[in-house]
Amino acid sequence: MPDTHLCLVNSLRAWGGAELWFLDTAVGLRERGHRVSLVAQPDSALRRRALAAGVPVRAIPIRCDAAPWTLARLGAHFRRAGVTAVVANLTKDLKAAAVAGRLAGVRTILASRESDFPLKNKPYYRWYFTRLASGLLVNSEATRQTVLQSAPWLAAERVHLLYKGIDLEKFRPREQEQEQEQDQEQEQNGRDPGPVVGFAGQLIPRKGLATLMDAWTTLTRERPTARLRLAGAGPLRPDLERWRAQLPQPHKVELPGQVEDMPRFLRGCRLLVMPSLSEGFGLAAAEALACGVPVVATRASSLPEIVLHRRTGLLVPVDDAPALAAAMRELLDDPTTARALGAAGRAHVARNFSRERTLDRLAALTGLAPSPSTGERPSP
């Protein structure tokens, strides 16, 4: 294959869905024989995990927009490493990587839009996104439409839909034997084997946790055997702990923190709840469906592209606690329907959100492979 090198630039320190995707993408493309590396903050979770995974990572602080010292270090790295393509995570990352990349002779520079927020209609945004960047990656059709509506100066053919890919070998349904073993393990450990509602994500306001707390306060009184397991870290954890302490059965709400084995976490759930106010791709929803776990989600951003109402899960209005409680109650009370929705969900993910499909398309867009896979909206 030609001498190509893709560099993924991400300056976030915290660990979230975008960082997970950057690392998984680097690993996946390297497994195919491509040269792929990362640029990350020296003290970031992404850098630590990349090093542990054996992915080359260059520690470069990116704090100020296009600061001269940042441009110099990035440009020197791009030249020495022979970088031919760059994908930048934040707009801040693009501002630095695009200037440094053009000066270093990088052929392809792609911005990445991870959240369903409009682009700012400012002259310097136009310059970065139309003059320096080769194109813009968006992870949902909802985000694509938001970008095009907010930035009419950006040509539609420069905005590329690239769904986050799910590893279907890693995220798969548990077998009946595994289910029985897990229930027995819970009983031996003194844990109530009642049905589990899972949440996986950052503990931040945008994830709709205030709505979930209101909904669960009602639901736990009506369905006292049900448990809520909230995986993730973030600034709302103290609020969640205070709320949990006021419940009639505080032990029914678990806060395990950041979960390393996400497939095992998801397979232990009757359903996953995503009460988000807005989303980028909704990675946890796709991962849950790949595990055969149905999803109760809001009609926010990209979630209706992943969760098909009454086909792979249930959709409710944003910030509607009674509707959220009713949807969770419905699937808790009807495990047969929950299993059927989960099975249909895995088939939906396999058709539209497989890791191989995403890697094919990204390799094509960055010049690592000759031709792209299709990037159309998901099939039903």
Rounded to whole angstroms, the Cα distance separating 182 from 186 reads: 6
Six-digit token pair at 264? 């095992």
Digit-coded pLDDT (tens) for 13-26: 998 888 999 999 99
User: Which regions in the chain score pLDDT beneath 70?
Assistant: 1-2, 65, 176-192, 370-380
Rounded to whole angstroms, the Cα distance separating 363 from 162 reads: 11
Digit-coded pLDDT (tens) for 256-283: 999 999 999 999 999 999 999 999 889 9
Six-digit token pair at 276? 């988000």
Clarify whether residues 150 and 191 are in a common domain.
no
Clarify whether residues 156 and 24 are in a common domain.
yes
**pLDDT given at position 378:** 61
Judging by beta carbons within 10 Å of its beta carbon (0-12, 13-18, 19+), is residue 342 exposed, middle or buried? buried
Clarify whether residues 152 and 236 are in a common domain.
no
Enumerate the H helices of 316-354 as residue ranges.
321-333, 335-352
**pLDDT given at position 373:** 45
Q: pTM of the predicted model, to two decimals?
A: 0.86
**pLDDT given at position 67:** 83
Clarify whether residues 142 and 240 are in a common domain.
no
Digit-coded pLDDT (tens) for 30-86: 999 999 999 999 999 999 999 999 999 999 999 876 788 999 999 999 999 999 999
**pLDDT given at position 298:** 98
Please state, rounded to an integer, the average pLDDT across all residues of the chain.
Answer: 92
**pLDDT given at position 112:** 95
Q: Which long-range contacts (CB under 8 A, 24 or more apart) does 178-186 make?
A: 178/267, 182/267, 182/268
CA distances from 158 to 102, 111, 121, 295 (A): 18, 10, 17, 32
Domain that holds residue 105: 5-164+355-366
Q: Total structural domains in the chain?
A: 2
Taking each continuous run of H as one helix and of E as one strand, the counts in the chain are 15, 13
108: three-class secondary structure by DSSP = strand
Clarify whether residues 201 and 346 are in a common domain.
yes
- Partners of residue 298 on adjacent β-strands: 316
Q: What is the CATH number of the domain that holds 300?
A: 3.40.50.2000
Q: Which phi and psi angles does 255 have, rounded to 5°?
A: -125, 80
Query: Which among 172, 143, 185 is positioned nearest to 160, based on CA atoms?
Result: 143
Clarify whether residues 11 and 104 are in a common domain.
yes
Query: Which among 99, 89, 168, 157 is positioned nearest to 365, based on CA atoms?
Result: 157
Clarify whether residues 134 and 199 are in a common domain.
no
Residue 379 forms part of a structural domain:
no
Clarify whether residues 239 and 117 are in a common domain.
no
In the Cβ-directed half-sphere of 331, how many Cα atoms lie within 13 Å?
Answer: 31
Rounded to whole angstroms, the Cα distance separating 28 from 165 reads: 10
Locus of tokens 């031919």: 84
**pLDDT given at position 186:** 52
Clarify whether residues 99 and 45 are in a common domain.
yes
**pLDDT given at position 63:** 81
Clarify whether residues 222 and 264 are in a common domain.
yes
Residue 273 forms part of a structural domain:
yes
Clarify whether residues 150 and 84 are in a common domain.
yes
Clarify whether residues 15 and 32 are in a common domain.
yes
Cβ 199 vs Cβ 232: under 8 Å: yes
**pLDDT given at position 172:** 96
